Structure 1
Amino acid sequence: MITAVELVDHALVERWAERHGIDAARRLAEAEDLADAVAAEITPDNTTDTYGKSWRVWQRFCAAASLPEAEGSRGALVAFVAWMLREGQQNGQGYAPSSASTHLAAAVVGLRERGVAVSGDDQAEARAALEGLAVKLLQAGERRGRGQAVGADVDGLRAIARACPDTLTGERDKALVLTGFRYASRSQDPAGLLTGDVTLHPRGLLVDILTGKTKHSVRTAKIPYDDDPEICPVRAWTAYRTRLVTEHGARWADPATPAFVSIDRWGHITGGMVPDSVTRAVKRISTRAGVPIAWTGHSLRIGLVSVARRAGRDSIAIADQGGWARHSRSMLGYMQREDGWDDNAAAGLT
């Protein structure tokens, strides 16, 4: 059976053949195949996962509403939004507006990938419906979603450093949190690091961070020694790596091995950490230390902004260290949350 995408491709090749000849049309078709392969190769795994999950949400909606999957009309998209907020989750509960927004955007991508025409106006109307319905939820007193993660702070770092046991796992936990805080890590950042991505420098560490989230796909963060040895990320990293090689062999010094390894309850190394295991580790580590509100995988990223801002660091320096675009809206949002009292237009007027 020929799909809609294949029909479109066939018609395109026929037009090329008419304009440029059969040989040129064949080479252009091969170039299109290469472009598709490159796009698939460079798309981050987490983006691919999101598209897959959102497409399954779209399929559940279509089944529930008895609508065809391969149709992205204005009415279908608006109905999709309303269904998600009303009952879209597997447990019959409605999604938070932020999750519904993600699923809407990804479902539109999925439709277009399958050759379904979705106009910008129809998508915009669905998004306007989503925003309007989200306001209605707020007016009705509904607060959905987890809200913004709590930011890491220096007191929490000290508590974590003291609570880490004298084991390889404890050394890894300490290095994971102390280094991650200094370069405002997301969960996927330390999970993607290799040993060769972290190098010692006379003034600290150089960390080459690979991320597919922005156009700046690789950045090098400079992590200096801390004046307080207890929470110094450079000393924590060195201690962890030294112990790893001492206890498990020189092969873990190979630049191609994971920088942060997964360790089971019996002390066996099971491979490299993945984003989910980093998130779970940060929560477990902070809970063990008695941090009042458990940290999440995003707490280290928020924390650097908050602490650096209070210390008077320039916003551009913070953006460069954390890999944000300068004047990033999300980064400025973290700052505004911290500055709301000290840097307040209504303060000190009398």
Structure 2
Amino acid sequence: MTATIETAAAEGVAGVPVAVDPTAAERRALIGRWAERHGVDAARRLAEAEDLADAVAAEITPDNTTDTYTKSWRVWQRFCAVTELPELKGSRGALVAFVTWMLRESRQNGKGYAPSSASTHLAAAVVGLRQRGATVSGDDQAEARAALEGLAVKLLQAGERRGRGQAVGGDIDGLRAIARACPDTLTGARDKALTLTGFHYASRSQDPAGLLTGDVTLHPCGLVIAVLTGKTKHSVRNAKIRYADDPEICPVRAWTAYRTRLAAEHGPRWTGPSAPAFVGIDQWGHVTGGMGPDSVTRAIKRISTRARVPIAWTGHSLRIGLASVARRNGHDGIAIADQGGWARHSRSMLGYMQRDDGWDDNASAGLA
């Protein structure tokens, strides 16, 4: 049995494939312990279950999370190349040097990242190190984060403001300007429906990008949109959008007009329940497929710029706008949270509301 266990630990158990990656040694050692305790056959089955668990974890990880890890790992690799530090050593000094480098000189143009971006890259780099078998202690990571926060304060004290800041929120005047500026084309109809519906269910860029035609249902009172919601724990919320009193900015009428025109100009291919709700359209009017989150973000900026709103909107402006405008109109916070898919008493939602409350309910108002 001893020889069998040693073979299992070194090469895998009786033909169980062991992935060739930096954590393979740990997996081999674990399989060896299972073989010693439970026998070779049980160890094989446990190893197969581990492989399945790894595959499921990879499958359910959101694409944007995977993209963030990939981008941040490239930043870490660039740091290691510049400093000639070993790539798989996440020591206290290396992590502190990493955040210092990120704030001072890390970007391709020689300037540093915004502290918020550096924080994201630090967290993702630590995940990447651990995935590759490196040991990163919680204390070392905490010290790097403390260094990052302290250096960020120094930047503020020196008068440096980095990052784009919080997106501007959409408003009713902006919606009217956008509706009037949309051309009488399929692209214009799509732009109008994308903006008006997105505002009324507080969409993020990925929300309309992920919608299928079957997710949007006409109801006598308006629309019901089944939105996949949640950054980590996903669920589907049914956002209800009523007909607006003002036909010019009615999201239901805009959606109906867009879908009618799409069917008339491009046939049934794009109208089935599994077709994308919002399609990409090139400059010649050809449908190119479903819109992705980045294309939605670009579209919202382009649409608002065309309408000459005072500050161009971003992909998050519709989400901010629903919270702030609904609050201004006296809607209950719980109803707003349910419509937009926020957790009740969400800090981000309350922050969006505070933009307006801070003016109307302001301690400095009326003092002079």
TM-score range normalised by the length of the shorter chain: over 0.9
Report the 3-state secondary structure (helix = DSSP H, G, I; strand = E; otherwise coil) of the residue aligned with 2:288: strand
Is the CA contact 1:44–1:212 (under 8 Å) kept in the aligned structure 2? no
Q: Which residue of 1 aligns with 2:106?
A: 88
Matching residue within 125, 138, 156 for 2:143: 125
Secondary structure in 1 matching 2:180: helix
| 2:207 matched residue in structure 1 | 189
Partner of residue 57, structure 1: 75
Runs of 4+ in 1 over 6 A off after TM superposition: none
Contact conserved, 1:225 with 1:233, CA < 8 A, in 2? yes
Please state whether the residue corresponding to 1:147 is helix, strand or coil: coil
The separation in 1 between residues aligned to 2:31 and 2:362, in whole angstroms, is: 61
User: In structure 2, the residue corresponding to 1:18 is in which secondary structure?
Assistant: helix
Name the SS for the 2:73 alignment partner: helix
Q: Is the 8 A contact 2:186 2:262 kept in 1?
A: yes
State the match for 1:41 in structure 2: 59
**Which residue identity lines up with residue 213 of structure 1 in the other structure?**
K
Matched with 1:243 is 261
The counterpart of 1:165, out of the listed 183, 206, 222, is 183
Structure-2 residue corresponding to 1:306: 324
* Contact residue 178 and residue 192 of structure 2 kept, 8 A: yes
- Indicate which of 23, 28, 40 corresponds to 1:10: 28
Per-residue deviation, 1:92: 1.1
Q: Tell me whether 245-254 or 5-14 shows the greater mean CA deviation.
A: 245-254
Which of 84, 90, 109 is 1:66 aligned to?
84
Q: How many residues align?
A: 350
> Which amino acid in the other structure matches residue 179 of structure 2?
A
Aligned-pair CA distance for 1:3: 4.2
Unaligned runs of 5+ residues in structure 2 are 1-18
- Give the C-alpha shift of residue 346 in structure 1: 4.3
Counterpart AA for 2:267 = G
1:337 aligns with 355
Which of 307, 312, 330 is equivalent to 1:294? 312
**Pairwise CA distance, 1:224:** 1.1
Question: What whole-Å deviation, never above 9, does each CA across 1:168-193 have from its counterpart, x for those lacking one?
Answer: 11100000000000111111110111
Matched ranges for 1:149-298 at <5 A: 149-211=167-229, 213-298=231-316
| TM-score, normalisation: structure 1 | 0.97
Match of 2:68, as an amino acid? T
The answer to which of 336-345 and 94-103 deviates more is 336-345
Structure 1 regions of 5+ residues with no counterpart? none
CA deviations over 1:21-78 (Å, ceiling 9, x no partner):
2111111111111111111111111111111000000000011111011011111111
**RMSD over equivalenced CA pairs, Å:** 1.4
TM-score, normalized by length of structure 2? 0.92
Kindly indicate whether the alpha-carbon contact (under 8 Å) linking 2:96 and 2:144 is maintained by their aligned counterparts in 1: yes
**In the TM superposition, what is the alpha-carbon distance from 1:215 to its structure 2 partner?**
1.4
1:151 is paired with a residue whose SS is coil
Distance 2:147 2:93 in 1: 11
Q: Taking CA–CA contacts closer than 8 Å with sequence separation of 6 or more, which of the two structures ends up with the larger relative contact order?
A: 1
User: Is the contact between residue 230 and residue 341 of structure 2 (CA under 8 Å) also seen in structure 1?
Assistant: no
Residue 88 (structure 1) shift: 0.8
Other structure's SS at 2:183 match: coil
What residue is the counterpart of 1:146 in the other structure? Answer: 164
- Per-residue Cα deviation, 1:249-284 (whole angstroms, up to 9, x for no partner): 022221111100000111000111111111111011
Sequence identity percentage: 83
| Among 335, 350, 353, the residue aligned to 1:317 | 335
Q: Structure 1 residues 254, 2: closer, same or farther in 2, change over 3 A? A: closer
The amino acid across from 1:141 in the alignment is G
Question: 110, 113, 116: which one pairs with 1:98?
Answer: 116
